[in-house]
Amino acid sequence: MSGWSHRHVIDLAAFSLADYATVLELAQRFRALPLSGARRLPALQGRLMTSLFIEPSTRTRSSFELAARRLSADVQSFSPAASSLSKGESLLDTARTYVAMGANVLVVRHRCAGVPHTLARDLDRCGERVAVLNAGDGLHSHPSQGLLDLFTLARQFSPAAPTPEALRGKRIVIVGDVLHSRVARSNLWALTACGASVVLCGPPTLLPQQFAAFVAAPPPGQRQDPVAERGSIEISRSLEQALPGADAVMTLRLQKERMHQQLLTSLDRYHRQFGLSHRRLELCGRAVPVLHPGPVNRGVELAGELLDDPKHSLVEEQVRNGIPIRMALLYLLAAAEGPPPAATPAGDGLKAV
């Protein structure tokens, strides 16, 4: 793909507008194809994707595995409890074992921020030809979720041409546990790159004021921001203030497993102040879509009836869009490893067989 220069995908802070456009365009093409069962694209025939998930996952892992199969890649899955990690092997040595078996892409999830980055750097140093795709690391980053959220919103605002442009000038409210959310962080890079105005909403314990400057400078280790001009970030402490004029609302799960202290007085109170319901949503002044990365705590961040209401809820659509987005990422990374896809009998491998 012209202009695509990433060997690994670790953090959306490194994405330019052209990168977003490339991923969205490929995802839109994949989304339009009737792929299921034996009907696949030959694009990644002979390539191997290995998923190394050292933290639980329902959607992301199965979505990556399905995406790889739809591109005819081989898929290998690693279970930490039944592996040599439990015998003391380092993650780098485990990863190198899979590379020796032929892995072209390692999809890595870890509860500690920075692990996919360190792994990618160490594998590069060892001279291994393998791409690392971050599938969520601690509080840091979840690029494929940020991209599928972007794709879902772009398709909502501009169904015929879901490009980054579709987000320009939109007011997107993100409400909830921003502090512990890698999804929010990835969305902040993606949405502001596309020119959206983001309103973050939550109590100070879950949304420190410093988030207003989240995209003001690239993260440590990255020399410059590849995006010349970003949309704004505003902090709000009340939904009554944040919702009027919103074009979409994204709710976040309370990440209880990452809260090391009592950050809320009660879940009931949280729901009353920051939970979304049909009534609350009326504050937007028109019917707006609601997103949630899942898993959802029903009745806490989102009322059950709203989650199940197809007039508003894009939650299932997000899951559906996750597959073409992950196909796009795998295609871009794995196609760069090994012989070019154009060398396959079916041209660039993007015609279904």
Torsion of CA 245, 248, 253, 259, to 10 degrees: -50
Amino acid at 119: L
Measured CA to CA, the distance from residue 135 to residue 16 in angstroms comes to 20
Nearer to ligand ASP, 22 or 187 (CB): 187
Q: Which of 110, 133, 121 is nearest to 47 (CA)?
A: 133
CB of 312 to ligand ASP, least distance (A): 19
CB of 206 to ligand ASP, least distance (A): 13
User: Is 334 in contact with 105 (CB distance < 8 Å)?
Assistant: yes
Reduce the DSSP state of residue 352 to 3 states and report it. coil
Measured CA to CA, the distance from residue 277 to residue 275 in angstroms comes to 7
Nearer to ligand ASP, 319 or 346 (CB): 319
CB of 292 to ligand ASP, least distance (A): 8
Q: Which two tokens stand for residue 226?
A: 């590849």
Distance of CA 272 to the CA centre of its chain: 28
Nearer to ligand ASP, 102 or 294 (CB): 294
Peptide linkage before 289 cis (omega within 30 of 0): no
Residues that bind ligand ASP (CB under 6 A): 136, 142, 182-183, 253, 255, 293-294
Q: Which two tokens stand for residue 150?
A: 């972007």
Nearer to ligand ASP, 173 or 183 (CB): 183
CB of 253 to ligand ASP, least distance (A): 4
CB of 267 to ligand ASP, least distance (A): 15
Half-sphere exposure for 149 (CA within 13 Å, toward CB) = 30
Reduce the DSSP state of residue 291 to 3 states and report it. strand
* Residue with the shortest CB distance to ligand ASP: 253
User: Is 159 in contact with 203 (CB distance < 8 Å)?
Assistant: no
Q: Which two tokens stand for residue 93?
A: 């040595």
Nearer to ligand ASP, 123 or 200 (CB): 200
Q: Which two tokens stand for residue 132?
A: 């690392």
CB of 294 to ligand ASP, least distance (A): 6
CB of 188 to ligand ASP, least distance (A): 14
CB of 324 to ligand ASP, least distance (A): 18
Nearer to ligand ASP, 139 or 248 (CB): 139
Measured CA to CA, the distance from residue 199 to residue 174 in angstroms comes to 6
Nearer to ligand ASP, 136 or 231 (CB): 136
Nearer to ligand ASP, 39 or 256 (CB): 256
